[in-house]
Amino acid sequence: MANVYTFKRASLFSRHTHVYQGFFTSKSQVSGLQPAFDIHIRSTSFAMSSATASGNAMLTGKLEGCSARRGKIHGPHGSVHIEKAGYYTPELTIHDPTGNPYYWRISGRLSDGPWVLVDMHNNVFAIFAISTFSQRILGQISVAQPISDDFLHIILLTSMLFLRSVAIAKSRRD
């Protein structure tokens, strides 16, 4: 069975996202539950922390360059590179801690998804589905392959970066 995580915006206009383990479709389903992780994205900087720990960042990073197309994620076991491709149709390339590349790709319409994380052989590692149920529930991700905790954290963080890239690309197309 796949691991499923639900992303919920902390408040309607917040840059802060709570990540819950499990599939939820409304904020009432997660009220009273402790999130597993918190993600904060501000401009080109981002961080992810464990919601159960003291709030210290597990992963931090920054997108670089005038177009913010490349960046690094820093964690306890080193750094990994990320790179955005495509101006109107976003694709995000990430690397696992051993350096293997993975690609976030859109498999449906830009705004509808689902988005799929594949490796260089097109093996599916994760699927992100945008929520259509609630403005506060951003979506759910299903992790389909056994992966390390470090790579899981990278996948969770980059899915929010990809969600932001898709929103920006969609606004450019409209």
Q: Where exactly are the structural domains of the chain?
A: 3-173
- For 110-119, how does the pLDDT look when each residue is reduced to its tens digit (9 = 90+)? 556 688 899 9
Whether 174 has a pLDDT exceeding 60, the answer reads no
Please say if the pLDDT value at position 43 is more than 50. yes
pLDDT single digits (tens) 85-139? 765 556 788 888 888 999 988 765 655 668 889 999 999 999 988 877 667 788 8
Taking all residues of the chain, what is their mean pLDDT, rounded to a whole number?
Answer: 80
Q: What is the pLDDT of residue 145?
A: 85
What fold characterizes domain 3-173? Porin (2.40.160)
pLDDT exceeds 90 at position 142: yes
pTM here?
Answer: 0.81
- List beta partners, residue 78: 75
Q: Residue 161: which residues within 8 A CB-CB, separation 6 or more?
A: 41, 46, 63, 82, 92
User: Mind listing the pLDDT tens digit for each residue in 66-80?
Assistant: 555 678 888 887 888
The string of pLDDT tens digits covering residues 16-36 is 888 899 888 877 888 888 888
pLDDT at 162 over 90: no
User: pLDDT confidence of 55, banded at 50, 70, 90?
Assistant: low
DSSP β-ladder status, 78-85 and 124-130 = unpaired
CB 160 within 8 A of CB 39: yes
Look-up of token digits 């306890």 = 76
pLDDT of residue 143: 93
